[in-house]
């Protein structure tokens, strides 16, 4: 899994190996302590994507993939006013099939994240 942390206008890409249990069965919006990865850090989960790149959607319950008719929001930007499209989305529960996790730092620890900031 890859954890994309956003902190003080910078984003950090951290590879999480062996600590996936911290994120299993959590939902988008949950606040968790990631001390086993970064001591003293607390984060809020904001989204993610699975192996195929399908984005997670906060209003879709569970860990399933479904096609939704959407007119905007996460995963779809309409070209014209009133335009809708049927798109594939992943539910809001994190499982082993989630590859990328997006999060915001709520409380920072003493050390900075170990990797350099990700390119924007």
Q: What is the mean pLDDT of the chain?
A: 89
Q: Is residue 17 situated within a structural domain?
A: yes
The answer on pLDDT for 10 being more than 80 is yes
Taking the C-alpha atoms of residue 107 and residue 25, their distance in angstroms, rounded to an integer, is: 22
Q: Is residue 75 situated within a structural domain?
A: yes
Q: What is the pLDDT of residue 93?
A: 95
- Nearest-Å Rg of the Cα atoms of the chain is 15
In this structure, what token pair is assigned to residue 69?
């008719």
User: What is the residue range of 68's domain?
Assistant: 2-107
30: three-class secondary structure by DSSP: coil
Q: Is residue 87 situated within a structural domain?
A: yes
The pTM for the full model equals 0.85
State pLDDT tens for residues 35-80. Answer: 888 888 999 999 999 999 999 999 999 999 999 999 988 889 999 9
Q: Is residue 56 situated within a structural domain?
A: yes
Strands (E), the chain: 2-7, 10-15, 31-33, 42-50, 65-70, 85-90, 98-107
């Amino acid at each position: 899994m890859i954890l994309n942390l956003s902190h003080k206008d910078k984003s950090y890409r951290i590879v999480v190996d062996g600590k996936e249990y911290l994120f299993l069965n959590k939902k988008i919006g949950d606040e968790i302590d990631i001390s086993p990865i970064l001591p003293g850090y607390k984060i809020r989960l904001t989204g993610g994507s699975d192996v195929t790149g399908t984005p997670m959607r906060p209003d879709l319950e569970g860990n399933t993939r479904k096609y939704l008719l959407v007119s905007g929001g996460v995963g779809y930007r309409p070209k014209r006013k009133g335009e809708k499209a049927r798109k594939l989305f992943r539910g809001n529960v994190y499982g082993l099939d989630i590859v990328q996790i997006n999060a915001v730092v709520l409380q920072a620890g003493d050390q900075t994240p170990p990797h350099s900031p990700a390119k924007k």
